[in-house]
A and B are shown apart, each in its own frame.
Chain A
Amino acid sequence: MVDRFKNFICRSYIAVIMFFLYAPILVLIVSSFNASRSRVIWGGFTLRWYVDVFSSRSIMEALYTTLAIAFLSSLIATLIGVTGAIGISAMRLRNYKIVMAFTNIPMLNADIVTGISLMLWFVKFMPLGFSSILLSHVTFNIPYIILSVMPKLQTLNVSIYEAAMDLGANRVYAFFRIVLPELTEGIIAGFIMAFTISMDDFVVTYFTKGAGVNTLSTMIYGELRKGIRPELYALSTLIFAAALIVLIIVNIFTERKPEKSSGRL
């Protein structure tokens, strides 16, 4: 009886926090169906913004830039981060510590300082624009890749790799057949994290973007004063729905894994 009551308290508490986290999202979803352009008055149900959003060139361009930056920066960060993590884990303890301390800098440093310092550096040798945003995003994405791959590297059983070499595999073959599969989960987790952070970033992009280029974040920020176009609510509802579907699929996929391995045991 007491246990049941305690479980009830736990459930209610989780529900309250969920409400806190999702209430604003609910408000946005409702606004995306609001026929009135006003933020507070309900003007009836409409799907108009969902149609209009695709014909707005500026929004589509910003969406394209956001996705391209997120994808390219996560990809480049994954390549540099995975090879980097393998290299760092082979270092002597002192060097390992030094490099890991530097790895933490972009994660711990205030976004505003990261953004400003990169901007001050970029203006010395290149015009601000798509490529300066890309370089900045790679910079803050790499640590997420390294930190999610590193634990997998540390639990990796080196004997299997050596056994493969003894059996005649060369380094490259042994890497792709033995090491990479072990790291896959960490790489995917890091990639998703990096992609998410990059999509959601505003501050670093704001300082390094220059004029003329916009991601969704900087576009929304620019429209704050004059009022956000309701098409953007529609777009963010669509992105949210897409993310929900993708995450459910990823969740089902990773949920099954432990069952498989426990079956093997």
Chain B
Amino acid sequence: MNKRSLLAGPYILWITGFTVIPLCIIIKYAFTSRDGGFTAENILAMFTPVHLKAMTFSTLAAVICTLICILLSYPLVMAIRRLGLRGGSFSVFILILPMWVNFILRLLAWQMILSNNGILSMILERLRLPAWDISNSKTAIIIGLVYDYLPYMVLSLHNSIDEIEDDLIEAARDLGANGLRIFFRIILPLSVPGLLSGIVMVFVPSMTSFVTANVLGGGKQQLIGNVIEEEFMVTMNWNLGSGLSVILMVFVLISMTFTARNDDPGSESKVW
């Protein structure tokens, strides 16, 4: 430890006080029953049919949402690159701006668009197209989740694709590679770090959100986040809620291993 690293002192105190200790406490709650004794019941409760159903739907919704985000983001990032809107500011600007409208209000707007007599059905009716009733359905929730987290995927893919040198792509083209080949042999492999962090940034929150399902699912479709929220705010069974939360955390730990290798500063010289 040299003198300069002591500057990290306040920060280390802060993470101890407000990250490490709270996590220990939630784990303690997870393994105690309401009267204070040790129990594994709160953890095992995940395997009751109701909770399993919510967990399965959450995982499924998160996987679908992440896949859709990936499929939508690659063409978008490539299009931004192709049109020379580089340097980042334009795309970052456009993607961050919607965040300034409260996200619950944005979801509410989706509810207005998708509801039975909402804007979408009005437009479909005008165009004499068949009605597409998806209000309060799983589809509506997934649309909402994609809407919420698409910017994160685009931003992290953008960061790594923007760094790819034009020379590399031109060299490949000179050597006779077509667009498809360039994408799969150069751009895709080089975008992997951005893709991985994008997956984590989309998968974890879409799996654990509860507001989206509340607003767009009409309370009929439950994600695991809704179950946990109810345990804390309605049923007031903090131990059970903590047990389910700890299981969610295990998922986070698994996804953390994806990004762990991105933290390696190895090659960079330490200047300070």
Contacts and interface: CB of A to CB of B under 8 A. Distances in A.
A157 B270 CA distance: 10
B45 interface: no
Interface stretch (B34-42, B87-95, B167-175, B182-190): B87-95
Nearest to B15: A102
B26 A117 contact: yes
B112 A39 contact: yes
A135 B75 CA distance: 40
Contact of A102 (B20, B95, B245): B20
Interface string A30-43: 01000000011000
A112 B245 contact: yes
B240 to A, nearest CB: 12
Secondary structure at the B interface, as helix, strand, loop or mixed, is helix
A243 B97 contact: yes
Nearest to B255: A108
A101 to B, nearest CB: 7
Contacts of B66: none
B77 to A, nearest CB: 10
A188 B225 CA distance: 33
A254 B83 CA distance: 20
Nearest to A96: B265
A7 B87 contact: no
Nearest to B28: A120
Nearest to B95: A21
Contacts of A146: 11
A90 B4 contact: yes
Nearest to B154: A17
Given A139-B19, A200-B103, A83 B7 contact: yes
Interface string A218-259: 001100100010001100100110011001000100110010
Contacts of B232: 116, 119, 207
Contact of A121 (B25, B205, B256): B25
Contact of A28 (B1, B4, B105): B105
B118 A154 contact: no
Contacts of B112: 27, 31, 39-40
B242 interface: yes
Contacts of A136: 18
A129 interface: no
A136 B215 CA distance: 25
* A interface majority secondary structure: helix
Nearest to A76: B14
B248 interface: yes
B166 to A, nearest CB: 16
A87 B83 contact: no
Contacts of A17: 72, 76, 150
A120 B26 contact: yes
B201 to A, nearest CB: 8
Given A104-B259, A120-B242, A121-B21, A84 B252 contact: no
B271 interface: yes
A73 to B, nearest CB: 12
Contacts of A138: 14, 18
Interface in A96-153: 96-97, 99-106, 108-114, 116-121, 124, 135-136, 138-139, 142, 146, 153
B265 A154 contact: yes
Contacts of B95: 21
A70 to B, nearest CB: 11
A102 B21 CA distance: 12
Interface of B: 1-2, 4-12, 14-15, 18-23, 25-26, 29, 72, 75-76, 78-80, 82-83, 87, 89, 93-110, 112-113, 115, 117-119, 147, 150-151, 200, 204-205, 207-211, 214-215, 225, 228-229, 232, 238, 241-242, 245, 248-249, 252, 255-256, 259-260, 263-266, 268-272
> 9 closest pairs, A vs B, by CB?
A87-B8, A84-B11, A24-B109, A87-B7, A110-B208, A243-B100, A117-B22, A10-B79, A90-B4
Interface of A: 6-7, 9-11, 13-14, 17-18, 20-25, 27-28, 31, 39-40, 80-81, 83-84, 86-91, 93, 95-97, 99-106, 108-114, 116-121, 124, 135-136, 138-139, 142, 146, 153-158, 196-197, 199-200, 202-203, 207, 216-217, 220-221, 224, 228, 232-233, 236, 239-240, 243-244, 247, 251, 254-255, 258
28 contacts: A7-B83, A24-B107, A24-B109, A27-B113, A28-B101, A40-B117, A80-B11, A86-B4, A87-B11, A89-B271, A102-B20, A104-B263, A108-B204, A110-B208, A116-B241, A120-B238, A124-B25, A139-B14, A139-B18, A154-B265, A158-B272, A196-B99, A217-B104, A224-B215, A228-B108, A239-B100, A254-B89, A258-B87
Given A224-B215, A239-B100, 13 more contacts: A10-B83, A25-B101, A28-B106, A90-B4, A97-B263, A105-B15, A105-B23, A111-B208, A158-B272, A197-B99, A200-B102, A217-B103, A251-B93
